[in-house]
A and B are shown apart, each in its own frame.
Chain A
Amino acid sequence: MVTYDSGANQPKSPPAGFLSRHLFTTDHKTIGLQYLWLALFSVFLGMAISLLMRIHLVWPVARLPFLSALGSTPESFATLPLLHGSLMVFLVLTAAPQAGFGNYFLPLQIGAREMAFPTLNLFSFWVTVVSLIGMTAAFLVAPQSGITLWIVSVSVFCAASLFSALNFTVTTIDLRAQGMTLPRLPLTVWAWLINAILSLLIFSILLAACLCLLSDRFFGTHFFSAVNFLASQPANIAADALPALWQRLFWFFAQAEVYVAMLPCFGIISHLIATFSRKPVWKERLVVLALCGVGLVGFCVWGQHMFSSGMNPSSPLVFSLLAASLGLPATILIISWFGTLWDARIQLNTSMLFALGFISLFLAGGLSGIFLARHDLASSAVSEEFVAGHFHLVMGVAATFAILGALFFWFPKLFGRRLNEPLGKIHFWLTFAGVYCVFMPMHWLGLISHANIRSDSGLTAIAALIGPVRSFITFAILITVFAQGLFLFNFLWSLFRGKKIEECNPWRATTLEWSVSSPPPADDFGVREPVVYRGAYEFGVPGVAEDFVPQHLAPGEVVRTCSLE
């Protein structure tokens, strides 16, 4: 037998000592869990901030213990959305599905014992922690130095993401187990790989932009600030040349960042739907191509945020077409999900509910995206609240649903216990109803603020509606946050008291991580070299006794109902 894991993948014994075992270990599973804990902390902090913003929007004089002091001055209130956004986008949506679940399950799913560069992985994690501390501390110091600290923290986060993405790419390319060919990769791994490549390209751009920005702040250069530049220019020069440069660099990163948050979620959702429909992923190769398409086109649509910035008159059309062409891979993904669900014996557990909720949110949020991709509509008819409603539904909440679905699915693997199902279902339905009640009215508020109103009475009638709608949104947020409290309780309770699982494969799933005990041993696969014999989604194979065939099961070990001739 060929063992080509000579150096990187030797089985290791766990190191002694608390610090080296739990905090500074290079074990991919511990690092993955640490990322998930970091995301859990960040998501609750970010949620508390959004709650504070909405409460102050509706009841400006209300005092909340601890929280109100944060947004007490106009400057600090203005920085609340920044902190909310940076925590949620960087530390939750980027970190949890990719670095959290990816670090834990990518090596397990491809049959590697470690990431390609374990020490670099440990370094990336702690650098991410430093950037989280920096971003949060930026909020507590004086505004000017706070912004500088924030930019430094974002640069640090970029560096951590680059190292992490490098690790993911090399691991997937070089450390796959025997027989784990590219067509046999689970879709989760495909999504993590494509996402890592995309991250490598875009985080370098943001790092370069941050470098110029910091140079402006520290050394007094004028890459983006227009003060000296304008003074030395004739008056007819377009005054927005410099800010437009920043916008270009920023949106080059930020538009693709949306797909960085979404790509692993697409992979996770396809994986969950196939497992709980007990059917192979419908058109699996087309789905892989669609994931590549999302990565590729997502990289080219930054201009859609700059329709009103005075760009070349023909470029909005190009960006508009590109942005609209993202609909093609998105449609392929959605059709594949429905194709898998079609005529299936669906197991409606909490994990699957979250996967179905993801599809619903992705569709609803994607529809309003069509408005924003139209350059003739986006610049005039759509306001900030419409955009906020759109991207919270399609990116923030949908991705959170994918993360929650993945957590309910992999919790038995992570901790050897199950999350409580009835409590999980209550949590799902409250959250599902709650987020629609929060973000759908936001679309309406955005549209109404640009409505063409011809009479005073019409204006009064609409103005009278806006207040109650905002209050409604705030009430809906309170209910949604309460539901997350239920989830936190479920999570912590199940961690210690949840129902223990007896078998290593409770969901009867096919991928390699379910071939080892739960939680997996320190060296993942023990002395055995994992070998893969088939694709990742062999459900309902005719002539086989069970309705699934795991990837690691040798052809001779598959129990058949009748002998093959």
Chain B
Amino acid sequence: MPGTTAVRDVELIIEDSRGGGGGGQPPAGGNGGDDGDDGKRRRNGSPSSRRFSTAITIGVISILMFFMALASAFLVLRHTSEVWVTVHLPRILWFNTLVLVGSSFTLERARSRLALRDMLGFRRLWFAGTLMGFVFVGGQLVAWRQLVAQGVYIASNQASSFFYIFTGAHAVHLLGGVAALLFVALRNFEKSQISISTAAEITSYYWHFMDGLWVFLFVLLFLGA
């Protein structure tokens, strides 16, 4: 009966089902004996940590769709309008891009310190990466202010609308990443469900994605202008 099966019995039965291919049915039906996937899953570690990396992978695809919708709107409007007022992209964007790409490298170096169990080195580099994230967001704000000083507002023309929407939406997603970086840096992982190395890995994946996404958007805005 359900609920009364002792653990030891279950062990035996699992052995049994592995050997026999499940439920006394011949495996030809395709329903039994398909435990290869199972074994693979168990090797990868417990689901409590794996669910976070799965979530990030899937979440990244969803965020990518969001930006692709905006990018496709940009391309469609760019090609259908004959009079496209170009926006002169502020030069500080180049600096911002460098800082963001640099922050990704810094985080990777931090993770390699973590792999060597050098916690102090990890924390230093990790904080440096987080700081570079803040510098990037600050730099984007400076770029906005420079455009405003030139009299280019969000409603000025379609190119400027896209510039503000792209940078704004990216900054919101990036701030989520900054919060995650701070969380990893400040949280005590001893009682946590996941280890600090897993948390650092997952956060850095998201950060690299944000990094790549910015480079894509920057190229799009640059070529579009």
Contacts and interface: CB of A to CB of B under 8 A. Distances in A.
Interface of A: 1-2, 4-9, 116-117, 162, 165-166, 169-171, 173-175, 178-179, 181-184, 197, 200-205, 207-209, 211-212, 215, 219-223, 229, 232-234, 237-238, 241-242, 245, 248-249, 252, 284-285, 515-516, 526-529, 531, 533-535, 538, 541, 543-544, 549, 552-556, 558, 560, 564
Interface of B: 2-3, 5, 7, 9-11, 13-14, 16-17, 20, 22-25, 29-32, 34-38, 41-42, 46-51, 54-55, 58-59, 61-63, 65-67, 69-70, 73, 76-77, 80-83, 154-155, 158, 161, 165, 169, 193-194
B25 A538 contact: yes
A558 B23 contact: yes
Given A162-B62, A170-B54, A555 B13 contact: yes
Contact of A181 (B10, B38, B48, B80): B38
Contact of A166 (B5, B7, B36, B59): B59
The 4 A-B residue pairs whose C-beta atoms are closest, nearest first, are A535-B31, A7-B48, A534-B23, A7-B193
What DSSP secondary structure best describes chain B's contact surface? helix
Nearest to B165: A215
A223 B31 contact: no
B81 A233 contact: yes
Contacts of A248: 76
B17 A179 contact: yes
A241 B77 CA distance: 8
A541 B24 contact: yes
B155 A219 contact: yes
B63 A174 contact: no
A201 B155 contact: no
Contacts, number: 209
19 contacts: A5-B46, A7-B193, A7-B194, A165-B62, A170-B54, A170-B55, A179-B22, A197-B58, A208-B69, A220-B154, A221-B161, A223-B77, A241-B81, A245-B76, A531-B10, A533-B23, A534-B25, A535-B32, A554-B9
A467 B145 CA distance: 63
Nearest to A173: B54
Nearest to A205: B69
B31 A554 contact: no
Nearest to B79: A241
A548 B37 CA distance: 26
Given A1-B7, A174-B51, A531-B14, A7 B46 contact: yes
Contact of B66 (A205, A229, A526, A555): A205
Given A178-B14, A181-B37, A220 B155 contact: yes
A516 to B, nearest CB: 7
B66 A535 contact: no
Contacts of B23: 533-535, 538, 541, 549, 553, 555, 558
Contacts of A527: 3
A564 to B, nearest CB: 7
A345 B34 CA distance: 30
B171 to A, nearest CB: 13
A9 B36 CA distance: 23
A233 B83 contact: yes
Nearest to A544: B24
A219 B66 contact: no
A69 B5 CA distance: 62
A233 B158 CA distance: 13
A1 B14 contact: yes
Nearest to B6: A528
Contacts of A219: 154-155, 161
B13 A204 contact: no
Nearest to A184: B31
Contacts of B2: 515-516, 528, 552
Nearest to B36: A181
Contacts of A175: 47, 51
B61 A200 contact: yes
B38 A178 contact: yes
Contacts of A515: 2
B193 A212 contact: no
Contact of A241 (B11, B59, B69, B80): B80
A1 B11 contact: yes
Contacts of B61: 200-201
B80 A238 contact: yes
Nearest to B58: A169
A233 B42 contact: no
A208 B31 contact: no
